[in-house]
């Protein structure tokens, strides 16, 4: 019986050690919630807003930055305007595109039409791309999202933006669910939806890239907070760099949601 | 609109059914015709679910319930599939050497697994029940896709039960001469059926990760073999076979340790010391190739989907590999510690004692390199004071080439520990012993230098492609050291002299706790990696095909997962100790004097 107890206590201590290390020895990262289909009001969008939407898709739903980043997993796209015409002339090009816009579109739908040297699937001699078709599977971009991403890549890649904003609303937004179209009900929901916690410490989120907002109301007024949301680079908090916070929240938030968020943050003292 | 019709979700289960009917009537698209022309009448679309499609029971968390039951089923399943593998080998050794101790040990192992087999079946039933209760549409879909194989699974399960019971209960009946061969053949059959059972279950699991046999619209047309033979099926099969043997070895090692600690006399202690040594040997033998099987599985995940690979290694799960490093460090250190303690069984081993500390230093250093994270999560001020997200000196240990080098060192030096243990009490008598020793020293030295050169040069001074590719020759170097050294040693120590008597049972109590540490760490590690394997599907029941719409569709964080795994491990260990206890009382025979009527 003594041995049984000793062995049990030893095993419990080991399990407790592993549990403790996993909970307190490493950073606790909260995985992002599953993406939700958003309503796109394309009719009211300017081209700048459309490009900003493309940027959001590129960095978010499209999961493009998982590979198109400085770690060398996939080619960088910051000079696509210069690179695309050269690639279209390359003997290895297998597609049918004639313009930069068509090339980007084709690369997203049929990535193996042209594989940049060194980025092909292992053993395929750069004839097959590891990139998935972004209109299918887990990414599933629709026509409007594809067009917005192309506009963003043209804009950021030094090419002329030739994309036109689709006239019809995105198919996913044709019959939005009532709960998706309605404004969010609480500030916490707004914070969760717009992933403020990825950078800021606020609500139950623990982001550390941006300023800590847990006591923002003690030192800042509602007007300051409202401006910080609508024009994030108007005033940069000490110790932080500008250009980090998305400047498009003003277009994305509903008026009711914005005021709810401002009141919530102003109340954090 | 570019959204393919297949990815336009049906609004409800009824719409999905209607879509299925339409798909059945409509001519198959060209791509679909290529994948499933034989049975165009079968068309099973993926249902589009809402939260309402998931039954809820107040006070019961569906995900945690199914998670725990599935994990317990897997732990027991892994054990009962693994035990017959090494029981078969041990029985064969017994037949070859005519040493009855091996036969008795094999019987003792299978006796432990008999109770575990019942628990595996009960937990499998509970898992099916949980899936039907909480995830009815997912279960229905998987049943529709794997219909034939599920039927085959049921038949195999009956076959497994029949063979196992004949094998176990017929052990003392089928002894000697041809009868023993019949018994051994039954053991082989038991393994063949058990492995097939596991492969079938693996097919269902891997289909959820890398679905196959579906047309571009995501509709299944009846090619069950394609669904079974999906991209990740074989990599998981290989990984699980190797891991199961290591795991089974660690559990029977814990059994031997428990019996050793509870032993009433020296004979019992000697017996269970010997059993524990063999169990640890089994665990280490499978532990050595296990990292390679894991590496192959991960590489195949990347090959299947770069996104999946990056989510696994570079996304939210990246930190899990630091926890994994701690656990594997615990596994290797405890296995080595047990071997070093084992050298105390003989005076002949003393000559090697001085070298142990160097092996320990290398093992700890390798563990620390593996343990070093690449990117640190830092506050703004910490980032500034460090000058970047990577530590200027330790940052170089954070990338894969350093970790691959460390793992290969960990394996090579663990093997060296084993070689020392094996040689400890013997002196080679062959004429070429000195040359053989020199060849082995050269083999280790050249091999280790090669591993370092490959890791440092190709890891840091060439481009990314070579970084990954260099891991293959590193692995081959380690395997070469192990295989060539084993062959040399076997030939060299043929007919070797014993230096001093071997005292089985002369082991410290602490050494037995090392065996427990091995079993607990292994169990916890399997639970953790199960969470990752399942978690990389993120919010999909079936990757990119069948979306999870339940309230628990989000991926749980590491701390939460660690809590579930810890609770599961405690339940499992409690059940295992119960199994050990049952095997103890099954051998006891109490004479109840005066209770039974005297027979005339």
Report the CATH number that the domain containing residue A262 is assigned in CATH. 1.10.760.10
For the question of an ipTM over 0.90, the answer is: no
**Which residues does residue B44 pair with via DSSP β-bridges, in sequence order?**
B220
Q: Are A249 and A229 in contact (CB under 8 A)?
A: yes
- Using CA atoms, how far residue B440 sits from B93, B415, B450, in Å, is 27, 13, 15
Residue B307 to residue A6, Cβ atoms within 8 A:
no
% of residues, chain B, pLDDT over 90: 57
- CB contacts of B463 in chain A (<8 Å) are 72, 118
3-state secondary structure B414-451: HHHHHHHHHHCCEECCCCCHHHHHHHHHHHHHHHHHHH
Which of residues A152, A173, A194 is at a domain's end?
A173
Q: Using CB atoms, which residue from A23, A66, A138 is nearest to B543?
A: A138
Residues A109 and A89 in one domain: yes
Q: What's the pLDDT band for B378 if we cut at 50, 70, 90? A: low
Q: Is residue A51 part of a domain?
A: yes
As a whole number, mean pLDDT of residues B263-271 equals: 92
Mutation site for A-interface testing, chosen from B3, B390, B532 by largest number of A Cβ within 10 Å: B3
Q: What's the pLDDT band for B387 if we cut at 50, 70, 90? A: low
Residues A123 and A98 in one domain: yes
- CB contacts of A134 in chain B (<8 Å) are none
- Name the domain count of chain A: 2
Residue B554 to residue A66, Cβ atoms within 8 A:
no
Collapsing DSSP to helix, strand or coil, B44 comes out as strand
Q: What's the pLDDT band for B589 if we cut at 50, 70, 90? A: confident
Residues A230 and A168 in one domain: no
Of the candidates A204, A181, A226, A247, the residue with the CA atom closest to the CA atom of residue A40: A181
Is residue B543's pLDDT more than 60?
yes
Tell me the shortest Cα–Cα distance from B215 to chain A, in angstroms: 12
pLDDT in tens, B198-248: 999 999 999 999 999 887 677 888 889 999 999 999 999 999 999 999 999
Q: What's the pLDDT band for B30 if we cut at 50, 70, 90? A: very low
Which of residues A133, A151, A173 is at a domain's end?
A173
Q: Of B34-38, B510-514, B522-526, which gets the smallest average pLDDT? A: B34-38
Residues A46 and A168 in one domain: yes
How far is Cα B520 from Cα A192, in angstroms, rounded to an integer? 38
Angle subtended at Cα B363 by Cα B361 and Cα B364, rounded to the nearest 5 degrees: 65
As a whole number, mean pLDDT of residues B421-425 equals: 85
Given the DSSP bridges, would you call strands A205-206 and B426-427 parallel, antiparallel or unpaired? unpaired
Q: Of B306-310, B325-329, B424-428, B429-433, which gets the smallest average pLDDT? A: B306-310
**For residues B465 and B283, which has the higher predicted lDDT (pLDDT)?**
B283
Helices of type H across A64-123: 80-89, 100-109
**For residues B355 and B373, which has the higher predicted lDDT (pLDDT)?**
B355
Eight-class DSSP state of A25: I
Report the CATH number that the domain containing residue A141 is assigned in CATH. 1.10.760
Residues A100 and A168 in one domain: yes
Q: Is residue A30 part of a domain?
A: no
Q: Is residue A240 part of a domain?
A: yes
Q: Are B36 and B223 in contact (CB under 8 A)?
A: yes
Assess B314–A contact: CB distance below 8 Å, yes or no.
yes
Is residue B531's pLDDT more than 70?
yes
Per-domain residue ranges of chain B: 347-501
Residues whose CB falls within 8 Å of the CB of residue B537, separated by 6 or more in sequence, listed in order? B208, B209, B543
Q: Which residues of chain A have pLDDT under 50?
A: 169-181
Which of residues A154, A173, A192 is at a domain's end?
A173
Partner B, chain A 187-226, Cβ-Cβ below 8 Å: 208-209
Residues A206 and A168 in one domain: no
Domain that residue A114 falls in: 42-173
How far is Cα B596 from Cα B599, in angstroms, rounded to an integer? 9
Please give the residue of chain B at the shortest CA–CA distance from A141: B3
Residues A163 and A190 in one domain: no
pLDDT in tens, B116-171: 999 999 999 999 999 999 999 999 999 999 988 999 999 999 999 999 999 999 99
**Which residues does residue B497 pair with via DSSP β-bridges, in sequence order?**
B427
Q: Is residue A219 part of a domain?
A: yes
pLDDT in tens, A136-160: 766 778 888 889 999 999 999 888 8
Residues A157 and A53 in one domain: yes
Q: Are B267 and B501 in contact (CB under 8 A)?
A: no
Helix (H) or strand (E) holding B338: helix B320-342
How far is Cα B102 from Cα B96, in angstroms, rounded to an integer? 10
Assess B322–A contact: CB distance below 8 Å, yes or no.
yes
How far is Cα B233 from Cα B292, in angstroms, rounded to an integer? 17
**Which residues does residue B427 pair with via DSSP β-bridges, in sequence order?**
B497
Q: Is residue A19 part of a domain?
A: no
- CB contacts of A239 in chain B (<8 Å) are 380-381
Residues A133 and A197 in one domain: no
Q: Is residue A79 part of a domain?
A: yes
Q: What is the pLDDT of residue A239?
A: 67
Q: Is residue A31 part of a domain?
A: no
User: Can you give the pTM of this predicted structure?
Assistant: 0.76
Is residue B10's pLDDT more than 60?
no
Of the candidates B224, B314, B322, B307, the residue with the CA atom closest to the CA atom of residue B537: B307
- CB contacts of A138 in chain B (<8 Å) are 307, 538, 540, 543-544
Residues A153 and A211 in one domain: no
- CB contacts of B208 in chain A (<8 Å) are none
Q: Is A213 exposed, middle or buried (0-12, 13-18, 19+ CB in 10 A)?
A: buried
Residues A64 and A148 in one domain: yes
How far is Cα B567 from Cα B573, in angstroms, rounded to an integer? 10
How far is Cα A76 from Cα A26, in angstroms, rounded to an integer? 31
Please give the residue of chain A at the shortest CA–CA distance from B554: A33
Residues whose CB falls within 8 Å of the CB of residue B159, separated by 6 or more in sequence, listed in order? B193
Please give the residue of chain B at the shortest CA–CA distance from A23: B559
How far is Cα B273 from Cα B507, in angstroms, rounded to an integer? 7
Residues A144 and A245 in one domain: no
Assess A6–B contact: CB distance below 8 Å, yes or no.
yes
Q: Is residue A84 part of a domain?
A: yes
């Amino acid at each position: 019986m003594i041995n049984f107890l000793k062995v049990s206590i030893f095993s419990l201590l080991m399990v407790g050690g592993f549990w403790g290390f996993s909970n307190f020895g490493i950073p606790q990262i909260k995985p992002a919630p599953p993406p939700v289909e958003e309503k796109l009001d394309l009719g009211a969008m300017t081209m700048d807003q459309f490009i900003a939407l493309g940027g959001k898709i590129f960095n978010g739903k499209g999961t493009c930055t998982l590979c198109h980043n400085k770690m060398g997993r996939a080619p960088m796209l910051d000079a696509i305007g210069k690179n695309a015409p050269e690639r279209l002339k390359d003997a290895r090009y297998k597609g049918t595109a004639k313009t930069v816009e068509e090339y980007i579109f084709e690369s997203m739908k049929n990535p193996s039409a042209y594989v940049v040297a060194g980025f092909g699937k292992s053993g395929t001699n750069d004839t097959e791309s590891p990139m998935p078709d972004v209109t299918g599977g887990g990414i599933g971009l629709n026509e409007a999202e594809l067009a917005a991403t192309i506009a963003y890549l043209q804009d950021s890649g030094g090419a002329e933006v030739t994309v036109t904003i689709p006239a019809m609303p995105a198919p996913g937004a044709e019959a939005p669910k009532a709960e998706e179209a309605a404004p969010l009900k609480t500030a916490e929901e707004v914070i969760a939806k717009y992933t403020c916690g990825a950078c800021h410490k606020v609500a139950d989120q623990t982001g550390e890239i941006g300023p800590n907002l847990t006591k923002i109301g003690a030192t800042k007024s509602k007007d300051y907070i409202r401006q910080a949301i609508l024009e994030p680079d108007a005033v940069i908090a000490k110790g932080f760099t500008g250009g980090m916070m998305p400047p498009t929240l003003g277009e994305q938030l509903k008026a009711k949601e914005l005021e709810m968020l401002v009141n919530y943050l102003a109340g954090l003292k | 609109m570019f959204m393919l019709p297949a990815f336009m979700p049906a609004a409800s289960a009824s719409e999905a059914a209607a879509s299925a009917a339409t798909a059945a009537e409509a001519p198959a698209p060209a791509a679909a015709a290529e994948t499933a022309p034989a049975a165009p009448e079968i068309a099973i679309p993926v249902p589009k679910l809402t939260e309402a499609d998931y039954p809820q029971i107040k006070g019961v968390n569906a995900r945690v319930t199914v998670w725990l039951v599935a994990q317990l089923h897997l732990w027991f399943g892994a054990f009962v599939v693994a035990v017959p593998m090494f029981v078969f080998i041990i029985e064969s050794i017994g037949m070859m050497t005519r040493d009855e101790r091996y036969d008795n040990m094999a019987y003792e192992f299978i006796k432990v697994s008999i109770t575990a087999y019942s628990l595996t079946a009960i937990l499998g039933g509970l898992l099916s029940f949980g899936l039907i209760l909480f995830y009815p549409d997912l279960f229905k879909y998987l049943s529709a896709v794997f219909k034939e194989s599920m039927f085959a699974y049921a038949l195999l399960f009956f076959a497994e039960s029949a063979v196992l019971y004949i094998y176990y209960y017929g052990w003392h009946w089928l002894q000697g001469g041809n009868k023993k061969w019949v018994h051994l053949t039954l053991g082989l059959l038991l393994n063949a059926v058990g492995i097939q059972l596991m492969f079938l279950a693996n097919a269902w699991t891997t289909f959820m990760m890398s679905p196959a046999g579906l047309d571009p619209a995501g509709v299944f047309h009846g090619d069950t073999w394609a669904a079974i033979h999906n991209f990740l099926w074989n990599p998981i099969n290989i990984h699980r076979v190797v891991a199961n043997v290591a795991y089974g070895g660690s559990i029977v090692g814990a059994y031997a340790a428990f019996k050793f600690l509870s032993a009433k006399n020296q004979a019992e202690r000697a017996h269970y010391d010997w059993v524990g040594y063999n169990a640890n040997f089994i665990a280490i033998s499978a532990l050595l190739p296990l990292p390679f099987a894991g590496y192959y599985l991960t590489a195949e995940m990347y090959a299947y989907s770069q996104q999946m690979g990056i989510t696994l290694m570079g996304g939210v799960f990246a930190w899990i590999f630091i926890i994994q490093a701690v656990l594997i460090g615990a596994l290797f250190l405890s296995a080595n510690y047990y071997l070093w303690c084992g050298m105390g069984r003989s005076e002949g081993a003393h000559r090697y004692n001085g070298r142990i500390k160097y092996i320990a230093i290398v093992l700890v250093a390798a563990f620390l390199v593996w343990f070093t994270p690449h990117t640190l999560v830092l506050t703004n001020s910490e980032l500034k004071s460090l000058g970047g997200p990577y530590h200027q000196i330790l940052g170089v240990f954070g990338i894969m080439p350093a970790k691959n080098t460390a793992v290969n060192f960990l394996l090579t030096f663990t093997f060296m520990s084993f070689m020392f243990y094996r040689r400890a009490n013997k002196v080679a008598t062959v004429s070429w012993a000195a040359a053989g020793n020199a060849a082995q020293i050269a083999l280790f030295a050249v091999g280790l230098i090669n591993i370092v050169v490959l890791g440092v040069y190709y890891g840091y001074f060439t481009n990314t492609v070579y970084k990954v590719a260099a891991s293959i020759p590193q692995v081959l170097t380690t395997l070469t050291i192990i295989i060539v050294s084993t062959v040399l040693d076997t030939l060299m120590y043929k007919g070797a002299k014993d230096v001093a008597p071997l005292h089985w049972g002369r082991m410290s109590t602490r050494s037995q706790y090392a065996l427990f540490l091995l079993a607990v760490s292994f169990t916890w590690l399997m639970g953790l990696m199960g969470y990752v394997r399942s978690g990389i599907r993120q919010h999909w029941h079936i990757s990119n095909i069948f979306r999870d719409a339940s309230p628990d569709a989000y991926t749980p964080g590491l701390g939460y997962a660690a809590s579930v795994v810890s609770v599961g491990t405690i339940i499992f260990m409690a059940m295992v100790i119960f199994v050990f206890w049952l095997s103890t009382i099954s051998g006891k025979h109490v004479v109840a004097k005066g209770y039974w009527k005297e027979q005339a």
